[in-house]
A and B are shown apart, each in its own frame.
Chain A
Amino acid sequence: MKIFRRVIISLLSIASAFLICAILIKIQRNSPIEVYKALYAYGLGSWFSLSSTLNTATPLIFTGVSAAVAFASGVINLGQHGQLLMGAILTAILGVYLNLPGLIGIPVLVVFGGFAGALWAGVAAVLKKFYRMDEFISTLMLNFIAEYFTIYLATYPFLDKKAYVPATRLIKRIYFMPDVSGLSLAFFVAIFSALISYWYIKKTRSGYELRMMGHNINFARIGGCSVELNTTLVLLLTGFLSGLAGGLLILGGTQHRFMKGIGANFGWDGVMIAIIANNSIIETLFYGLFFGALKNGAIGMEFETAVPSEFILLLQAVIVLVVVGARSAIEYYTQWIRSLAKLKKVVSGND
């Protein structure tokens, strides 16, 4: 019943977010119905749209699960963007210079990408463990540093001189991620990683410790969890997930090379998805697909209507605010009304 109520609240909130944005579109003298129709047609309407939606959702699922696992354990890792970029750049560079047969090379490159992400998150973990620096600010700062550092690498040492924009060279063709009629295998890796993360958080002892840390850190500490060690573990793990996103973006995406802006807004999208999903991994998976559909549909929407694709950034933010606002307001006020009713009963009982 509780789940049912949650789903209803979420659906209604998303519907009202769409409504709010429809009004905004209307103010700009465009037709909201046509915009949403195009969004649907290009996001989910055909196998082609659907498969590219799933491809678009792949990095979102990774960063979303990364953020969800971190937040659920009370670790504020906001560094998905930087970790993704570090994973992407390492995979892109190794993909040019490494000589391995494709079947071994692809997993090796992806895992290296993950390690690069974990290492970048590890910087924040070291700073947290030894110098008590808030991971929340340090991961944020590391985002900017990673952004500039990767652009530097793609502009100077590893520049492809034939490219029009700063970019690394194309990775070897054998490392391209195979696909099933347009659907990249990277998507299945994403689903698999999400399920593994779910199992880890829900079913293992270590995952239980992490959840307890998220609920109440003092309880976890008294219960005998090594909070410091677990925080480091979470940072490394979530960094690894974001790094995988970066690696797969290079191997499975469309560009197969590192170029400026490849990270897009995936990091923050992941954070938003985790927030809407209330840090539940299964919900993160669904919202990842949902945001993927929006993003993918946006490209077609720009084609068909006068509304630019950046509209989706606004829509996403409105969805986050409305869903989160409605959820916590309903929770708070129902409790308030309930306790008020109880109070009345107690008072009248005393008479």
Chain B
Amino acid sequence: MIELLLHMFRATLSSATPIMLAALGGMFTYYANIFNIAMEGIMLTGAFFAVYGSYFFGNWFLGLIFALISGLFMAALFALFAIYFRCDQFITGIGINMLALGWTTYALRSTFKVKGALISPKIVPLPKWNIPILDRLGQVGNIFSGHPFLVYMAFASALLLEIIIFNNKFGLHLRATGEDQEAAKSAGIKPIKMKWIATILCGLLSALAGVYLSLGYVTLFSENMSNGRGWISLAIIILVKGRPIGILSLSMIFGLFESVGLILQHYKLAPQFASMIPYLATLFVLYFYGKEKKKLQW
């Protein structure tokens, strides 16, 4: 029983990471007042290009670089449409997501000649880091030690970003841009530049979430493998109004739900119901949030 619990907590950290990374990315655009729903798509291209780089160059680091470049590209595309072509941000986001789905599905077929999923020993996964003190703590240490470094990076950056957003010039400028673009302009901030930075950072972090999915969480790429995680992260951002600490804790809750689902599969729960859990959880969290909001309004 204890073993199971330990296993569950370990899986929680692992499942929370991609959601958290994407949500932290979306946080930047949230504060810059850009309605960005492209995390899902950028995550998907990130996951694909991570596998692409890792497969062809036999090196996880190059996979990471490829994924970051793809994230950069998608974010730039988003910025081009949303900032310069004045497209509706929501529509642009859907377009980008569809592009990501189409592109990766097509590339999977035309580059790797497989349909559905690419599983190969040639894909080099992210290295696992053992944390020096923790790995001597036995079973409890096992929860925290031996994850790919992106897990630690996600947690560290959530804490770091909390400080940057609320106690730093950059964070202030970012929030000012989102709050009132014209006022920010009169204070000497370049809103277009801030929006670009926010979009690019979102692209990079979402791409990292994708890298973690395809090289850390599992070592394969399958069609549409982000499978709604980008949408869940969007829901998280809206729920916690962008606070990085809130993102950290809610992502953990979602990670817990996901890992509970995985474990319940061992107890004769149909796998389909287990897979449903994160989405049901999103609805429940939104439900409680809505109830709270209603109370406040009356």
Contact = CB atoms under 8 A, between A and B. Distances in A.
A314 B106 contact: yes
A141 B128 CA distance: 32
Q: Which of B98, B227, B291, B294 has the most CB of A within 10 A?
A: B98
A12 interface: no
B130 interface: no
Contacts of A28: 110
Interface in B87-126: 87-88, 90-92, 94-96, 98-99, 101-103, 105-106, 108-110
Contacts of A76: 90
B287 A133 contact: yes
A138 B99 contact: no
A148 B275 contact: yes
A148 B273 contact: yes
Interface residues of A, number: 45
Interface in A222-252: none
A138 B110 contact: no
B52 to A, nearest CB: 15
For this complex, into which size category does the number of interface residues on chain B fall? 35 or more
Interface string A126-162: 0100011110011011101100110110011000000
A29 B272 CA distance: 41
Q: Is the interface of B mostly helix, strand, loop or mixed?
A: helix
Interface stretch (A44-52, A110-118, A186-194, A321-329): A321-329
Given A133-B286, A145-B280, A317 B293 contact: no
Interface stretch (A177-185, A205-213, A268-276): A268-276
B298 interface: no
B279 interface: yes
Interface string A14-33: 00000000000000100000
A316 B87 contact: no
A34 interface: no
A211 B106 CA distance: 38
A307 B90 CA distance: 31
Contacts of A303: none
B87 A275 contact: no
Interface string B255-298: 00000000000000010110110011011001100110110000
A310 B108 CA distance: 9
Given A133-B290, A321-B95, A332 B86 contact: yes
B283 A127 contact: yes
A266 to B, nearest CB: 13
Given A313-B101, A321-B81, A324-B87, A144 B286 contact: no
11 contacts: A76-B90, A127-B283, A127-B290, A131-B291, A137-B231, A141-B228, A144-B227, A317-B101, A321-B77, A321-B99, A328-B86
Interface of B: 77, 81, 84-88, 90-92, 94-96, 98-99, 101-103, 105-106, 108-110, 227-228, 231, 234-235, 238, 270, 272-273, 275-276, 279-280, 282-283, 286-287, 290-291, 293-294
